[in-house]
Structure 1
Amino acid sequence: MKQVFILRGLPGSGKSHYAQTLADDLVAGDETQYFICSTDDFFVNENGEYHFEKQRLSEYHNLNLARFINALAEGIPLVVVDNTNIKKWEFVAYASAATAMGYQVKEVIVGEIRDKSLQHLYAKRNGHGVGLKTISKMAHLFEW
């Protein structure tokens, strides 16, 4: 069965860890059997350093969607979308493409969205320097 998992959650909630654990559990970490699509990848330079550029966000989201569709076209059995996906419109194109290509789609909310104490933890542990104020705003805007 071909599956797509669309992860949703605040920065620092553990989405990337969840994505890799999912791949390890479902396909024994066999890199030919899964692909993780994260827009964050496009902000990583050749030295492996993350540099967020807000003006490129839309472009990189489009590139991430394109490589997601390519992974589906290649028939990769497990494809994971590792983005915050705060608003439903942010992932509807992923879900539509996956369904059209015969994949089972599962939406997974990682972490607790509304818990203020966890928002503090997420602000401390996210690897991209997203502050508490931004994380709290994202939590407030989260669409169920």
Structure 2
Amino acid sequence: MNQPLVYLTRGVSGSGKNFFAESIKQLYPNTIVCSADDYFTNKEGVYNFNPANLDEAHNVCRNKFEQALIENQKVIIVNNTNVNEKQFAFYIDKAEIYKYKVISLVLERRHEGWNTHNVPPETLERQKNSIIESLKLI
């Protein structure tokens, strides 16, 4: 792989974004995963979401992403819901500056079960609608 790569995952909560990121890390162990969820996850792996800290969580995620670009990491995954362009424009703009190829992946929830963060159905519906409205297929 010559050109460095950013995978920009997009999907409703519970669509498999974390599973995808971990799968890529198995193929490319030096992959950097940038996720706002990390801010809410302690060292023991316990997730404790606090909506009051969401802006800070995304700032930490963006900073980690930019540092990975500066360090010329070969594979970077932005692992957030990224339901609309406002949420992911920063990553695309920065990747372009650093000459990274961006692959945007919309992950579908084609499995049974519930999202691990217990996001309510009305929020999932809003996430879904935002993704549909922001798709750029051609």
The two structures have a TM-score, normalised by structure 2, of 0.87
- The answer to whether 1:12 aligns with 2:14 is yes
Task: Return the offset for 1:134.
Answer: 1.5
Identity among equivalent pairs (%)? 30
- The answer to whether 1:51 aligns with 2:48 is yes
Question: In the alignment, is the contact (CA less than 8 A) between 2:24 and 2:31 conserved in 1?
Answer: no
Q: Segments of 4+ in structure 1 off by > 6 A?
A: none
CA deviations on 1:102-124 (whole Å, 9 max, x unpaired) are: 11111111115xxxxx5x94xx4
Matches of 1:141 and 1:2 in 2, distance apart? 28
Query: Considering only aligned residues, what root-mean-square deviation do their CA atoms show, in Å?
Result: 1.6
Structure 2 portions without partners, runs of 5+: none
CA deviations on 1:73-124 (whole Å, 9 max, x unpaired) are: 1111000000000111101101111110111111111115xxxxx5x94xx4
Matches of 1:22 and 1:34 in 2, distance apart? 7
Matches of 1:57 and 1:107 in 2, distance apart? 22
**Secondary structure of 1:125 counterpart:** coil
Q: Which structure 2 residues correspond to residues 60-79 of structure 1 after superposition, within 5 A?
A: 60-79=57-76
Question: In the alignment, is the contact (CA less than 8 A) between 1:23 and 1:78 conserved in 2?
Answer: no
Task: Return the offset for 1:52.
Answer: 0.7
Q: Which structure 2 residues correspond to residues 15-26 of structure 1 after superposition, within 5 A?
A: 15-25=17-27
Task: Return the offset for 1:57.
Answer: 0.4
CA deviations on 1:22-53 (whole Å, 9 max, x unpaired) are: 2333x2xx2xx210111000001243211111
The two structures have a TM-score, normalised by structure 1, of 0.84
Question: In the alignment, is the contact (CA less than 8 A) between 1:35 and 1:78 conserved in 2?
Answer: yes
User: In the comparison of the two structures, how many residue pairs are matched?
Assistant: 131
Which of 125, 136, 142 is the equivalent residue of 2:114?
A: 125
Structure 1 portions without partners, runs of 5+: 113-117
**Secondary structure of 1:130 counterpart:** coil
